[in-house]
Structure 1
Amino acid sequence: MSSRPLSRRTLLAVVGLGGVEALLAACSGAASPQAVVTSTSTSTVVAAPQTGTSGSAALPSGASSAGPTTAGGIAASTAQSDAASSEAQSSAAQSTAVQSSPAQSSTGASSSTAPSNTSPAVPTGTPVHVRLYQSDGRTYGVGLPIIVYLSQKITDGKPFASATKVTVDGVAVAGAWYFQKSGIYPGYPLEAHYRLENYWPAHAAINLDLPVKGLSAGTGLVFDDSLTLKMSTGAKNITTVDGATERLRLTTDGVAKFDFPVSLGKASTPTFTGTKVVMERDKIERMVGTTPGDEYDLQVPWSVRLTNSGEFIHAASWNGGNIGQRSTSNGCTNLNVDDAQRYFNFATIGDVAVYVNTGGGAMPVWDGYGDWNLSWAQWKRGGSVATS
């Protein structure tokens, strides 16, 4: 079957992030720079984007993701939905003239002060709209940052950061925003991720209040909506994948759950090292390779996405002889079919996956949710927009 054109999300992600780095090789048995991968079945999508104040419409549970791309067999992230939500309702503060009480002079004459208006000037300019990635009432893994998308490239993040209020189980916490280019949604060139120094606590209630409507976003820019979010975390699920032993091990709240053999990316198409976060789950991912001598058209079951550029943990029945023995994939984590199904059914959006000894470079922070690959000191600087 001939290759299909790039998906809108993939093309936007690659162009917007300015990286041929996003065109990486992964996911099946041999290098395939011209591979095209198309999702053909239902995937569990992280959440419907949210705008306005709170109570956004959630994405239907049966939403599909479709996404062709080129790049050595790597599937590009595709699952997107634009669920509408209510517009933010924020009343403008009303100034009140203050008049002092009359004071009697020693001669009996009264005096009074003139009314005064002390309200500061309201910022004006091009509106900046903010939308959320997560949805109210959803449960996520402990590694998923709070993610927002902005309709303009703001130049001052200090008012945004100062207005942010986040609580965990009712207690205020001190996290930080990190801004970076975004190519996920048309018309939203910037995204910001909010996290703590360490992962969220497990089994916790997380509330965000982002009252930024009317605040300055830089010279000639002003935020036009405010947001709130109420979400929860589930168990602390941590997957560790070791290229030296060709094993995947998962613990949940500190208790061992899985220990599976794997095959990672071969030397020419190595798997990224570093900390990744589960982005989506696809029951079937169609992977089409068009490189001469390496053509294939596979329906790949039980696929768990880890990067925008297309690294998955997935079943690989064709690679059974190498699983647990040596790394021969194009960058994905190959599992035996039964193991892949068990992992797929257990994984939650936001779960953490730590990769060591893969022979590959560090996962870029922009390639999905690579947030945990930056130190806390680097993170607090705010990325492309200063926040302090």
Structure 2
Amino acid sequence: MMHPRRPVRVVAAVVAAAVLAVTGACAGPLGGQAVPAAEATPVAAVTSSPALDATDLSPVQPVTLSVAQGTISALTLTSPTGAEVKGTLSADRTSWTLAEPLGYGKTYTVTGTAMGSDGKAVPIQGSYSTVSPAEKMTSKISPGDDAVVGVAAPVIIRFGSEPVDRSLIQQHVTITTTPQVEGAWAWVTHDGDSWPSLDWRPKQYWPAGTTVHVSSDLYGLDLGGGTFGGDTVTSDFTIGRNQVVKADANAHTMVVQQDGVTVATYDASYGSGDVIGDPNRVTRSGTHIVMDKKETTTMSNPAYGYTDVTEHWAVRISDNGEFIHQNQATVADQGVDNVSHGCINLSAQDAQAYFQTAIYGDPVEVTGTSVQLSPADGDIFDWAIPWSEWTALADN
């Protein structure tokens, strides 16, 4: 008896299905093309603070690029001229930090490569652009580098534009003295200036031989209103020997002391204002400082009838016309009476001897007159301000 053929058809169908299954596994969605497996994303992750392509940055803003799950194999920051900017790569090569200030109004290009822990490279590309200030504030320090000055010389920092944000400015101005000296900053408007300077003076006179370092580090500071700090300046100077002048208008003498010891006593004549009742001819009492000196100069005071009178051995002690100088016309009055227009008159010999010892910043302590030295009397009046008032003039 013959068996039915049905099972044969079932086997053929199973084989056909298997063939189709194999063929379908290799076929793509279009035209039978194969689809490759997706490549894994590189694991190295690059971050930047501030973000790459940031603009309007301060040129002193910290800049750091970091890599997670990898290291920096190469990184360069270049200026618009192609010069390489200094940076520091960490020991583990996972971060790079900017190591020098940038310029204003410039775009810097970042190029480099990070290598991931998976062995795959990731490009580092971008830029940083710095702000273009509406105005850049400069500063100038007095005394300047290598100066040797007297024991009453204040530090004066003058600014090229009005210091609106005084507190911020003061935070970026420093003074270092050896030995350590007690003193304080104060905002003071000097004669002829349109806005205040920042002055520092010791509570007492400087110790002789003190070395002083002053820094005004304003570059990159946002001072408001589109004004940024335009420079960083420093000064290193030294305090010279201790010389103090004791100028007594009642005794009609001028005594020069060094380290508290009298080294010279001169007969002198002071302003006659207390005698004749004219305050404009009173030599101001208080601590002046030597500001300048000239062997020969001309002096004028048209209100009192003289113009371009030649004087010798002239040491300026304020900007209100007060000098210590030779005046042969008053020699007979020197040591006896006060007859000048406000200056301290000495003989030719004494004036020359004192002139040769005087340096900028020496204190000249005038006593015995009815009018006190004040801000109205000249450029450098720092010692005319009591210490308790001086310390209140800072932005703390």
Q: Report the TM-score when normalising by structure 2.
A: 0.63
Question: 2-side partners of 1:275 and 1:132: how far apart?
Answer: 22
Residue 253 of structure 1 corresponds to 259
Question: 2-side partners of 1:173 and 1:328: how far apart?
Answer: 40
CA deviation vs aligned residue, 1:191-243 (integer Å, no higher than 9, x gap): 33221222222111111122121224454432211111110011111111111
Change in CA separation of 1:356 and 1:199 when aligned onto 2, cut-off 3 Å: same
The answer to whether the aligner puts 1:95 opposite 2:63 as a matched pair is yes
Question: 1-side partners of 2:302 and 2:189: how far apart?
Answer: 33
Check conservation: 1:176, 1:196, Cα contact below 8 A: no
The answer to whether the aligner puts 1:241 opposite 2:247 as a matched pair is yes
Which of 263, 267, 278 is equivalent to 2:269? 263
Which of 152, 157, 164 is equivalent to 1:143? 152
Q: Which structure shows the higher strand fraction?
A: 2
Helix, strand or coil: the match of 1:160? helix
Question: 2-side partners of 1:352 and 1:362: how far apart?
Answer: 13
Check conservation: 1:123, 1:216, Cα contact below 8 A: no
Which of 210, 214, 217 is equivalent to 1:208? 214
Change in CA separation of 1:277 and 1:291 when aligned onto 2, cut-off 3 Å: closer
Q: Which structure shows the higher helix fraction?
A: 2
Which of 107, 124, 128 is equivalent to 2:137? 128
Give the letter aligned to residue 284 of structure 1: T
Question: 1-side partners of 2:331 and 2:370: how far apart?
Answer: 21
Check conservation: 1:305, 1:312, Cα contact below 8 A: yes
Residue 320 of structure 1 corresponds to 331
CA RMSD of the aligned region, Å?
2.9
The answer to whether the aligner puts 1:307 opposite 2:318 as a matched pair is yes
Give the letter aligned to residue 289 of structure 2: V
Residue 356 of structure 1 corresponds to 367
Q: Mean alpha-carbon deviation: is it higher for 163-172 or for 244-253?
A: 163-172
CA deviation vs aligned residue, 1:109-131 (integer Å, no higher than 9, x gap): xxxxxxxxxx9x98955221112
Question: 2-side partners of 1:262 and 1:365: how far apart?
Answer: 25
Question: 2-side partners of 1:241 and 1:172: how far apart?
Answer: 27
Q: Note the 1:167-182 alignment, pairs <5 A.
A: 167-169=176-178, 171=180, 175-181=184-190
Question: 2-side partners of 1:271 and 1:135: how far apart?
Answer: 30
Check conservation: 2:312, 2:326, Cα contact below 8 A: yes
Residue 358 of structure 2 corresponds to 347
CA deviation vs aligned residue, 1:89-110 (integer Å, no higher than 9, x gap): x9734421456669xxxxxxxx
Displacement, 1:381? 2.9
Give the letter aligned to residue 387 of structure 1: D
Helix, strand or coil: the match of 1:245? coil
Check conservation: 2:187, 2:196, Cα contact below 8 A: no
Question: 2-side partners of 1:181 and 1:259: how far apart?
Answer: 32
How many correspondences in the alignment?
276
Change in CA separation of 1:289 and 1:367 when aligned onto 2, cut-off 3 Å: closer
Change in CA separation of 1:196 and 1:291 when aligned onto 2, cut-off 3 Å: closer
Question: 1-side partners of 2:61 and 2:181: how far apart?
Answer: 25
Displacement, 1:310? 1.6
Q: Note the 1:145-164 alignment, pairs <5 A.
A: 145-164=154-173
Unaligned residue ranges in structure 1 (runs of 5+) = 1-89, 103-118
The answer to whether the aligner puts 1:194 opposite 2:200 as a matched pair is yes
Question: 2-side partners of 1:126 and 1:195: how far apart?
Answer: 30
Question: 1-side partners of 2:301 and 2:181: how far apart?
Answer: 50
Question: 1-side partners of 2:383 and 2:285: how far apart?
Answer: 12
Specify the structure having the higher radius of gyration (Cα).
2
Identity percentage over the alignment? Answer: 24
Change in CA separation of 1:218 and 1:321 when aligned onto 2, cut-off 3 Å: farther
Question: 2-side partners of 1:153 and 1:214: how far apart?
Answer: 16
Question: 2-side partners of 1:164 and 1:219: how far apart?
Answer: 21
Give the letter aligned to residue 395 of structure 2: T
Give the letter aligned to residue 372 of structure 1: W
Give the letter aligned to residue 96 of structure 1: T
Q: Report the TM-score when normalising by structure 1.
A: 0.64
